[in-house]
Structure 1
Amino acid sequence: VGANGRLGSMVCRYLLRNNPNTKVLAAVHYVGDSSSRGYGRLSYEVGAEDGVGTIGAAWSEDRNASFMYTDEMKDYNLQNLRVIDVELLDPVQCMTLTEDVDSVIWCATDFNGNKPRAVSGLNIAFLFRAVAAPTKGRVEIEGLQNILGGLKNGKQNKRWNMEREGGQSVSPKSNNPISFVLVSTAEDAFDDFTTPLGDFKALKRDGERILREDFPSVSHCILQMARYDENFVDEDLDIQFDENAATDDGVEKRRRRINRRDAARIAVEALTDENLLGKKVEVYTALRGR
Structure 2
Amino acid sequence: ATAECFVPYLKIPSLSTAVKNNQSVRLSSSQESEDAEKYRDQAEKLREQIRQMEEKIGDRRLNRNNDYGMDAMKQQLDDSFGDGGEMSLKNRNVLVVGANGRLGSMVCRYLLRNHPQTKVVAAVHYVNEESRTARGWGRLSYEIGAEDGIGSIGPAWDAQDRTATFQYSDEMKDYNLQNIRVVEVELLDPVQCNTITEDIDSVIWCATDFNGNRPRAISGLNVAFLFRAVADPTKGRVEIEGLRNILGGLKRNKQQQRDRGIVREVFLDSAIGNAIDVCLVSTAPKAFRDVETPFGTFNGLKREGEDILRNEFPSLSYTVLQMCRYEDNFVEESLDLVYEDPRADDDDEDKAVVDKRRINRRDAARAASEALIKPDIKGKTVQVWTAER
Is the pair's TM-score, using the shorter chain for normalization, greater than 0.5?
yes
Residue deviations 1:136-190 (CA, integer Å, cap 9, x gap): 4310001000000000011111111126x89954546847210000000000110
Contact 1:51 1:68 in 2 (8 A): yes
1:238 aligns to 2:336 (yes or no): yes
Q: Distance in 1 between matches of 2:250 and 2:261?
A: 17
Instruction: Using CA pairs under 8 Å that are at least 6 residues apart, name the structure with larger relative contact order, 1 or 2.
Output: 1
Letter matched to residue 255 of structure 1: K
Go from structure 1 to structure 2 and tell me whether the alpha carbon gap of 1:43 and 1:31 turns closer, same or farther (over 3 Å shift): same
- In the other structure, the counterpart of 1:85 is 184
Go from structure 1 to structure 2 and tell me whether the alpha carbon gap of 1:28 and 1:249 turns closer, same or farther (over 3 Å shift): same
- In the other structure, the counterpart of 1:267 is 368
Flag structure 2 segments of 5+ consecutive residues without an equivalent.
Answer: 1-96
Contact 2:106 2:143 in 1 (8 A): yes
Post-superposition offset of 1:24: 0.3
- In the other structure, the counterpart of 2:301 is 203
Query: What is the 5 A alignment of 1:46-65?
Result: 46-55=144-153
Aligned residues: 283
Letter matched to residue 147 of structure 1: I
| Matched position secondary structure for 2:226 | helix
1:29 aligns to 2:125 (yes or no): yes
Post-superposition offset of 1:220: 0.4
Q: Distance in 2 between matches of 1:223 and 1:286?
A: 16
Go from structure 1 to structure 2 and tell me whether the alpha carbon gap of 1:131 and 1:172 turns closer, same or farther (over 3 Å shift): same
- In the other structure, the counterpart of 2:111 is 15
Letter matched to residue 253 of structure 1: V
Name whichever structure is richer in helix by fraction: 2
Max Rg structure: 2
Q: Distance in 2 between matches of 1:49 and 1:167?
A: 36
Go from structure 1 to structure 2 and tell me whether the alpha carbon gap of 1:168 and 1:198 turns closer, same or farther (over 3 Å shift): closer
Contact 1:89 1:136 in 2 (8 A): no
- In the other structure, the counterpart of 2:379 is 278
Relative to the length of structure 1, the TM-score reads: 0.89
Flag structure 1 segments of 5+ consecutive residues without an equivalent.
Answer: none
- In the other structure, the counterpart of 2:75 is none
Q: Distance in 2 between matches of 1:54 and 1:33?
A: 20
The alignment-based identity, stated in percent, is 61
- In the other structure, the counterpart of 2:310 is 212
Q: Distance in 1 between matches of 2:113 and 2:182?
A: 16
Q: Distance in 2 between matches of 1:254 and 1:2?
A: 26
